[in-house]
């Protein structure tokens, strides 16, 4: 199981990336195979958002780096889990003439 850490903090309580990395690395026992970090601001700039991720590789050993961001950077997420039926889902999508490997366009 992976380790996930994050915060949403006001300007007077923004500890910085070094603290994010330190706290996320405290979860190394949950995900010894990789780590990733992301920081950003809310749209109004009033709050800092931060995500940290420690990865336990089970499937897709080479891929799966997190946090993940949309192409435009407006959506960032961390995910804990595996899609074990990905082969069946891929085959179903191919049979439905759905294009694979294209970016997902968010509907928000």
> What distance lies between CA 21 and its chain's CA centroid?
15
Active site residues: 2
What's 2-22 look like in SS3?
CEEEEEEECHHHCCCHHHHHH
Angle at CA of residue 34, ends 53 and 31, nearest 5°:
65
């Amino acid at each position: 199981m992976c380790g996930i850490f994050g915060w949403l903090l006001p300007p007077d309580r923004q500890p910085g990336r070094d603290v994010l990395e330190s706290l996320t690395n405290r979860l190394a026992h949950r995900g010894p195979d990789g780590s990733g970090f992301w920081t950003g601001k809310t749209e109004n700039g009033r709050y800092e958002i931060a995500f940290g991720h420690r990865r336990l590789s089970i499937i897709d050993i080479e891929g799966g780096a997190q946090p993940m961001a949309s192409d435009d950077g407006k959506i960032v997420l961390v995910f804990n889990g595996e899609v074990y039926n990905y082969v069946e889902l891929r085959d179903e999508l191919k049979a439905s003439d759905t294009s694979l490997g294209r970016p997902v366009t968010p509907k928000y």
